């Protein structure tokens, strides 16, 4: 079982418009609404591809009830830690003409110290049967910078791999704790390390203790940088257009599934992460893959 931890979930609202005209009024159909947040999306993709995932998250207020109800209805194994803070929303606007998606992410609200303790206790308990731990997404305001690092330390103590997809101090602390894989995108990597070159930034994280760094490069594919080999880049022959929301989460799901199965070869991991990320772009909602994901993996181009 792969345990995903999402401290700052969201109700994902996805609107689709024929063409986004900034500054103008748009008439739209009701949005698709579902429980979201990076770790929840990762768990959904693992389940869709035949793996076993368990989603641990927080939820509070009416939006939190919506999160809990949706997870129950989906059949995804999960546990919700109740919190007083209202669960945030995330709005994605998909422009059908350009193929671009514009996203508005609320920051979320702070959790109390008692709520952080409850979340930590749940992680410790659920890690017992886990084969891999994934910490994904933004942390709410006032969160301890070392929360994701604590997940890494727990994983190491249990002899299982860990993956963190975060930004800022949370990403850096996870590296220092010895995380197996970090998965930022190009912007998050630059923001966290101060380095605009992805290879330089990735090597900085390796120097802090990370085992492997995989960087999402958008239309340019993905990059893998490890401690003992030259950087590897992977891409499809042509960029795909669609809803890129959740593409990075699909990549994390691919990495988690392989690590849980004992696969550690960077090229194998990068190839599948790239294919699943692309398949997520073709799917209508975050947390889903287009059925073509096995075929896409066969078409991935890897260069060194």
Catalytic positions are: 249
Helix residue ranges, H only, the chain: 38-48, 61-74, 113-126, 147-158, 169-177, 186-193, 198-208, 247-260, 266-282, 293-298
Q: Which residue bears the tokens 């593409």?
A: 247
30 phi and psi angles, rounded to 5 deg: -60, 140
Distances (CA, A) of 203 to 45, 100, 213, 252: 29, 31, 8, 19
Contact 17, 28 (CB under 8 A): yes
Distances (CA, A) of 263 to 5, 145, 215, 260: 22, 29, 19, 7
* Cα–Cα distance measured from residue 83 to residue 251, given in angstroms and rounded to the nearest whole number: 29
**E strand or H helix at 2:** strand 2-6
Beta strands 32-36 and 10-17 are antiparallel
**E strand or H helix at 222:** strand 222-225
Would you say the C-alpha torsion 179, 58, 4, 106 has a positive or negative sign? negative
Q: Which residue bears the tokens 């979340």?
A: 119
Taking Cα atoms as reference points, which of 209, 145, 215, 146 lies closest to residue 175? 209
Instruction: Output DSSP code: residue 107.
Output: -
Q: Which residue bears the tokens 């594919």?
A: 221
């Amino acid at each position: 079982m792969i345990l995903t931890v999402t401290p700052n979930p969201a109700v994902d609202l996805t609107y689709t418009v024929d063409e986004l005209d900034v500054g103008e009024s748009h008439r739209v159909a009701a949005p698709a609404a579902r429980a979201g947040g990076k770790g929840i999306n990762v768990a959904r993709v693992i389940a869709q591809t035949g793996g076993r995932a368990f989603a641990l998250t927080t939820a509070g207020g009416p939006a939190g009830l919506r999160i809990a109800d949706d997870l129950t209805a989906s059949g995804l194994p999960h546990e919700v830690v109740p919190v007083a803070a209202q669960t945030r929303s995330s709005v994605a606007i998909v422009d059908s003409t350009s193929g671009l998606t514009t996203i508005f992410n609320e920051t979320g609200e702070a959790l109390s110290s008692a709520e952080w303790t409850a979340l930590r206790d749940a992680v410790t308990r659920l890690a017992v049967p886990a084969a891999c731990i994934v910490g994904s997404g933004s942390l709410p305001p006032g969160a301890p910078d070392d929360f994701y690092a604590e997940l890494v330390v727990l994983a190491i103590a249990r002899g299982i791999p860990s993956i963190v997809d975060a930004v800022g101090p949370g990403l850096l602390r996870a590296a220092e704790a010895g995380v197996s894989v970090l998965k930022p995108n190009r912007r998050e990597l630059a923001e966290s390390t101060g380095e605009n070159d992805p290879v330089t930034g990735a090597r900085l994280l390796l120097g802090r203790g990370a085992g492997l760094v995989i960087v999402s490069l958008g239309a340019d594919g993905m990059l893998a940088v490890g401690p003992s080999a030259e950087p590897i880049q992977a891409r499809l022959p042509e960029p795909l257009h669609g809803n890129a929301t959740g593409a990075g989460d699909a990549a994390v799901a691919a990495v988690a599934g392989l690590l849980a199965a004992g696969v550690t070869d960077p090229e194998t991991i990068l190839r599948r992460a790239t294919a699943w990320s692309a398949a997520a772009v073709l799917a209508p909602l975050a947390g889903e893959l287009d059925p073509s994901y096995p075929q896409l993996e066969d078409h991935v181009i890897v260069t060194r």
